[in-house]
Amino acid sequence: MDRFPHLRGLLLLLFGVVVVLPSRAQDQFTRFELGGEFSTIELSNSTYQRAVTPGFGEHFDWNFNGRLALESEIDFFPDHSVPRLYVQGGQTVQAVLGIRAKVVQFRKLSIYGLVRPGILHFSDTQFLSSNPNTLYVQQPATYFDLNLGGGMEYYVTPRWVLRADIAGNPYYIPNQTFAGSALNLGTINDTTRFSVGFAYRPGTLIENEAETNVSGKWEFGPLFTTLLSAREGPNDGVRADPGVGGYLSYRFYAVFYADGDVLYFPRGTNSSGPHDGGEILQGLFGLKGGIRRNHFGFFGKARPGFQSYSQALTRITTPLQGAPVYSYSRSLAFVLDLGGIVEFFPNEKSTLRIEVGDTHISWNTRDVNIDGTIFPAVGGKMRHSIQFVVGYGWRF
C-alpha cells in the first residue's frame, strides 16, 4: 500500500539542496499559529485498491523560535472506507503532535520538515468474532501512527500563511487476541496524507534571533533504539525489539553529511521463518541533509543498509520416530531507512540525537529443504517497520 515510498522519505533530504542558496530569511514570527486545511489520506477501496479519501482538519503551533515549533494537528475523513481485517474501516481520524522545523527560509517562502507521532483511529474496523454464528464484527480501532514528511509555506502577510505538506504514516497494528489465544496478525501498515490550507499568527510579532552555525565536522556516540516490526515466525508476530549500538557522522559539503548507525538487537525469537529469526544486526549507511543553527539541528535521512538475522529456517527433517528437527542459518535482508533526525546541543562539543524513521525491509527468496525437497520461500513485498533511536554524541 505504498505508492510514494521514496518521495516522502527523501523529501527532507532534498530540501537541503536549497539551503546552500543565498537568501534573506523571513524576519518575524509569533509565539502561536493556528489554521485549517483540506486533507486527503490514501486507504483501500471496495476492490482493495488504494484510493484517495478527502477530509479536513486544523493545526496549532507553539513556536520556540523562528524555525522550530511544537505542532499538533487533527484531521477528520468522513467517508466510510471499506472494512479490512484489523487494518481499516469506516470513518477515519488522525491526531498527531510533534516537531515542525523550517529547513529553508526565504523572505516569502519556507520549506519545513515534520516528525509527529500520534494516533490513527478507524470507526468500523473488521475483527474476528467470538460468536460462532458470525465470522467478523466491526468495531472501532485506534493505532499508534508516525507522521513523517515535509512541506512549504508562503507568507501572504506577516500574519497570514498558506501551506501544503505531504507525509507518510506508518502505523502499528498489534497482535490480536481471539477466543483466549493470541493471533499473530499484527503488522506495520502504511498510508500517505496530503494537506493544503492556511494559518493565522496572532499575538506580538517577534524578531528572529541571530543565527550561528554549529561547529564540528565529525560526530560519534552511543545509541539506544527500539524497532517495531512484524517478525516472520508463527509465534512472535509484531513486537518491539530493544537494541544498542553507535553512530558516526561526517559533514562533507555544506548541509550534507555521511551518516551511519550500527545497531544490535539481542532479543531472540520463539520461532523462525525462512528469512527472519533470532537476533538482529542492523547497519545503515547513507546521507542526512539539513541545518544546524544555534542550539538545535533538523535533518532528513535516506540510508540504505542491511539487517542480518542470526537464526533463519533452512531445513526441516522429519525422522521416522520423534519430533521434526529444524536447522537454521544466518539470513541477510536489504533495508532502506527514511525519516528524520532532531539534534539538540547542550554545550559546544556534545549532541543529544533523536532519530525516527520508517525502515523498509526487503527479503530475498530463500530455499528451505523439507525432507530433501527444496521449496523456495519468496521474500514478498517490502515491509515497513517503525524505529526510534536516541543517543548522545561528541563533535569535533
Q: Is 247 found in the same domain as 187?
A: no
Q: Check whether residue 194 and residue 217 sit in a common domain.
A: no
Cα separation, 345 vs 334, whole angstroms: 33
Which of these, 198, 151, 190, lies nearest to 173 by C-alpha position?
190
Residues 136 and 188 in one domain: yes
C-alpha cell at position 106:
526565504
Task: Please give the pLDDT value at position 169.
Answer: 95
296: domain CATH number is 2.40.160.20
Task: State pLDDT tens for residues 162-197.
Answer: 999 999 999 999 998 776 666 778 899 999 999 999
Q: Residue 32: give the domain boundaries.
A: 1-211
| CB-facing half-sphere around the CA of 62: CA atoms within 13 A | 4
Residues 386 and 321 in one domain: yes
Task: Point out the domain boundary residue: 155, 184, 211.
Answer: 211
Domain shared by 31 and 118, yes or no? yes
Domain boundary among 211, 234, 252: 211
* Residues 204 and 222 reside in one and the same domain: no
Residue finishing a domain among 161, 190, 211: 211
Predicted confidence band at 25 (pLDDT cuts at 50, 70, 90)?
Answer: low
C-alpha distance from residue 85 to each of 16, 18, 356 (Å): 40, 43, 27
Of the chain, the percentage scoring pLDDT greater than 90 comes to 77
227 lies in the same domain as 277:
yes
Q: What is the pLDDT of residues 102-149, one digit of tens each?
A: 988 888 999 999 999 999 999 999 998 888 888 899 999 999 999 999
Let me know the angle formed at the C-alpha of 243 by 341 and 120, rounded to the nearest 5 degrees: 60
Q: Does residue 58 sit in the same domain as residue 185? A: yes
pLDDT of 22 above 50: no
Distance in angstroms (rounded) separating the CA atoms of residues 120 and 138: 16
Instruction: Determine the length of the chain.
Output: 396
Residue 320's pLDDT band, with cuts at 50, 70 and 90, is confident
d(CA 152, CA 70): 16
218 with 159, same domain: the answer is no
The per-residue pLDDT for 181 is: 63
Reference 67, options 328, 370, 364, 296; nearest CA is 296
Global pTM reads 0.90
Per the structure, the count of domains in the chain is 2
Place of cell 509569533: 30
Mean of per-residue pLDDT scores for the chain? 91
